[in-house]
Structure 1
């Protein structure tokens, strides 16, 4: 049992995902004695790793958005600035019912900045681009005046169903594993509706977001400056890069963060699931596994349902405010020996429109075509493919959502992945081509920003703010993506300390 002498100078963090680890770092930097408890044996949550065919690969998030400096700043602080890499040029594709098309490069959630771009017109056709271009003549209030709106309602109102079905649905399905009719546009694309009011149209709002300079170093340090070879890296100078990653994988960020916490004297307790939370004098008391912890400050970095469920006893007003669980996603990683894929037939990968026949995957990432460092590590002719399965279908009816059809067992997933990859890449892949493979399951762990979610998050945080010394962090309150999580976590911890 922990019983600190000065509870006000101690902090307990529940959850060892990136939000929990970053919260612990901020608290330790402020001089507090910090303990982090994590239910599993692994740190990093959805930023994890696994070994497939001898390659240490990302098992979850494999990149971060560069539209803010949040992640890049953290990377620099941890001494990893020289490891930042951008994806290989070439872009991604989308699989439509009538075949594959190049995905427009100047979009947000698949929403085009210019409906008449050649890539957009090839996907939409003349009539689709004509309808989408009417967006510029609509009043700014269309789609932007309601308190809440789904992604699909906004896109359909301003640009039409063809943009929604052929561009937005594949992107949203690939990124958020959900139907765009289920998602709160203000959570998954913050500032987009405000941009319509400022710039007069949805296309102009998208163009404004895309024109912001990428928050990356102007260039990488000279060879050897980071203590490793520059092989497999690409220089960073283009403002148009929407995402970046780290040489070696995003999971290296977690390794660096854990090492940083250990250097700061933070206590890390894995395999210790929190069971109950209660007020204890001026602080908090938490039971986790067989231990009890007393602390002046409490940070809850757990998925939404678990966070609200644990805090309900101490904050009764939270009853009935638990968010919906996220989608159950299955990620199949294939390492294949297929030299025909050296030509990168679908660029960095391909997203799948829900109505595309015969394909069960919602997206395929050609990881060795996307990241030069990984291609160098895998070697000529060897390729890493990531296929994801599981998407929440909509619209929601009476709170019930159906999960799209997807294979369940590992053998079924392997068979589906080989079939889907063959169809999507137009290169036949057989079991004999597979060097190694793995399945990673994310069961309800990914953030799910249902329509109205932003308002519900605000209510939950307002209720918790009435209790001194507690903060809630994580993707379900911050929004999907590492940039949103890092930025939000730092803001919330500064509020807590203040």
Structure 2
């Protein structure tokens, strides 16, 4: 058996690993990536002699996929958790505590927004349960449209946008309720009489389990372990240019005939590869838009007077250029022990790719100036690293879940082909790992 996995991000690496476990040592597995490295939008580099992640730096710890993978791969001792500090929100030129008791920034009660929004908005939230709510079961609108209608624009800009910006590099206006907040959509479908009631019903139950997890020495530990366990032939700097069907399997240019293919590629690349074999699926995939972003990692003197918080999110409409700061040395206990203080500045929201054209020096200067503004500290970097992510995150627009259902149907009869990636059922690392596992399962069932 000869199987190709196209795309060497976490989705593709997990798919290769699961295929190896399912098919055994005799299967020929080939992993191709157009870049010169594996990892996709996960990347670990060294700053001042220690590893730092420049892509995702955490995963949802209450999902089982990554801790389970780490146990299987023998790297469970690398699992770490945040210190438990809360982030701030920078709004109207001052910092505020991030509201608690919210669902992705959507409050269940007016008390959650106290101090962050004005009295008129507080009164509007309080009165919302008494306003008739019209919701058609199975429908979908943007998170921003729903929250603005029920609670007002201030809640969107100052509470919801900062959180959605961190997950999707988008805004509440570019993200649909059903894909981003499925428990909220379910509560609305079930007949919630108000948004307040729906949020209350959708909030997760209290738990002592840490919300997030991380990897002590960075994601490259997981990526390297997956590659080794998959025992896969890796071909980087190798873009796949064409995919066609044959009487016995698939033809994949430039590597030739294979029995099966996993496409773990970004949505636009997947669309191009599906163009000949599944035109309808190609059109559906091509309709998924992407957002770009950039990260500036700053190493600061250990005694820099940073606030005792995990990070600072920036409300929409502020004069700052950065959208968020992760105060990594405050957030993660294992990073606090290093000889420098680490901060990550994030740039970029959906519809604005301007940061991609900035010189490294410009991005670093913007990060330093904005961090100075939000902390009041004297920011003098020891060193800095810039990482750009063009088209790094898909936007889960209204109707996304229906689009993916149609895509699944349009590729259901493509025997020996499976899809994986962040554009399907979640942009987080656990969701990507789950998509890789599902793709491998589909292929293994066909081949065995």
Asked if Structure 1 and Structure 2 have the same fold, meaning a TM-score greater than 0.5 normalized by the shorter chain, the answer is yes
- For the 8 Å contact 2:65–2:430, the answer to whether it is kept is yes
Match of 2:291 in 1: 327
Query: 1:477 aligns to what SS in structure 2?
Result: helix
Q: 1:339 aligns with which of 303, 306, 327?
A: 303
Distance 1:104 1:213 in 2: 16
* TM-aligned CA distance change 1:268 to 1:353, over 3 Å: same
Equivalent pair of 2:274/2:282 in contact (CA under 8 Å): no
Equivalent in the alignment of 1:482 = 429
CA positional deviation for 1:267: 1.9
Of 242, 267, 271, the residue aligned with 1:308 is 271
1: distance between equivalents of 2:282 and 2:223? 33
Change (3 A) 1:489 1:108: farther
**SS where residue 86 of structure 2 aligns?**
coil
Structure 2 CA distance for aligned equivalents of residues 350 and 36 of structure 1: 38
Relative distance call for 1:390 and 1:294 in structure 2 (3 A) is same
| Cα shift readout 1:291-343 (whole Å, capped 9, x = no counterpart) | x23222111000000011012122233453313442221111111115133xx
Deviations 1:152-203 (A, max 9, x none): 1222233332211210012112322112111122222223211234483544
CA distance in 2, matches of 1:121, 1:300: 47
SS in 2 for 1:260: helix
Specify the alignment match of 1:349 in structure 2. 311
Shift of 1:402: 5.0
Q: CA RMSD in A?
A: 2.3
Secondary structure of 1:278's counterpart equals strand
Quick check: 1:12–1:298 contact (8 Å CA) kept in 2?
yes
Instruction: Output the TM-score relative to the length of structure 1.
Output: 0.82
Identify the match of residue 152 of structure 1 among 135, 138, 144. 144
Alignment equivalent of 2:162, drawn from 163, 166, 170: 170
Instruction: Indicate the residue corresponding to 1:29 in structure 2.
Output: 21
Seen in structure 2, the aligned counterparts of structure 1 residues 468 and 405 have a Cα distance that, compared at 3 Å, is closer
Note the C-alpha offset of 1:471: 0.9
The match for 2:250 is: 284
Contact 2:61 2:212 (8 Å CA) reproduced: yes
Residue of structure 1 in register with 2:54 after alignment: 59
1:38 shift after superposition = 1.3
**Residue 129 of structure 1, CA deviation:** 2.8
Which whole-Å CA distance do the structure 1 matches of 2:276 and 2:389 have between them? 28
Given that 2:158 and 2:316 are in contact with CA atoms closer than 8 Å, whether structure 1 keeps it comes out as: no
Distance 1:267 1:407, change over 3 A: closer
Secondary structure of 2:114's aligned partner: helix
- In structure 2, what is the equivalent of residue 243 of structure 1? 212
Selected match of 1:269 from 186, 211, 235: 235
- In structure 2, do the counterparts of structure 1 residues 57 and 360 end up closer, same or farther at CA, with 3 Å as the change threshold? same
Does structure 2 retain, via aligned residues, the 8 Å contact 1:66–1:242? yes
The answer to whether the Cα contact below 8 Å between 1:447 and 1:479 also exists between their aligned partners in 2 is no
| Counterpart-to-counterpart distance in 2, 1:346 and 1:423 | 16
Q: 2:434 & 2:275 partners in 1: Cα distance? A: 26
CA–CA distance in 2 between the matches of 1:362 and 1:144? 34
Structure 2: state its 5+ residue gaps. none
2:386 is aligned with 1:386: no
Which residue does the alignment assign to 1:448?
Answer: 395
The answer to whether the Cα contact below 8 Å between 2:294 and 2:387 also exists between their aligned partners in 1 is yes
Gaps of 5+ in 1: 1-8, 215-237, 393-400
Render the CA deviation track for 1:430-482: whole Å, top value 9, x for unaligned.
xxx22111110100122222222322222222211121111111001122211
Q: Is the 8 A contact 1:143 1:158 kept in 2?
A: no
